[in-house]
């Protein structure tokens, strides 16, 4: 293999690596998409969280009664209040399926 071929191969591998597997870490997605309402600690005691009456993710009862599937649906499809007003925007298409699963696992770590 000559040096030019090696450089082209390395450059291509680098480009390929940057376009595949670009899922953001769960903590980063939490900070960027969730913490404004749910709080950095998951308790929902932010101004927006209190207004929207978000759940306290540190609450053992919430954690035991809420399935992963329910959280995945809420993240993907968003949530609405009883009047049908959107309370959380949908993230389907903005987050990958793996990122959503990682967020659910991240939420599970808030359990007290």
pLDDT single digits (tens) 9-25: 444 444 444 334 567 89
For residue 24, the model assigns a pLDDT of: 85
Distance CA 43, CA 59 (A): 8
pLDDT greater than 50 at residue 83 = yes
Q: Please give the domain boundaries of the chain with CATH numbers for all domains.
A: 23-108 (1.10.760.10)
For residue 21, the model assigns a pLDDT of: 53
pLDDT greater than 60 at residue 5 = no
Q: Which of 83, 85, 89, 108 is nearest to 34 (CA)?
A: 89
For residue 1, the model assigns a pLDDT of: 52
């Amino acid at each position: 293999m000559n040096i030019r071929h090696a450089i082209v191969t390395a450059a291509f591998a680098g480009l390929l690596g940057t376009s595949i597997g670009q899922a953001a870490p769960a903590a980063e997605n939490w900070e960027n998409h969730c913490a404004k309402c749910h709080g950095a600690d998951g308790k929902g005691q932010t101004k927006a969280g209190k207004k929207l009456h978000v759940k306290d993710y540190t609450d053992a009862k919430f954690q035991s009664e809420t399935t992963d599937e329910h959280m995945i649906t809420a993240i993907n499809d968003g949530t609405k209040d009883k009047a049908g007003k959107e309370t959380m925007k949908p993230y389907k298409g903005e987050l990958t399926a793996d990122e959503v699963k990682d967020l659910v696992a991240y939420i599970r770590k808030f359990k007290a």
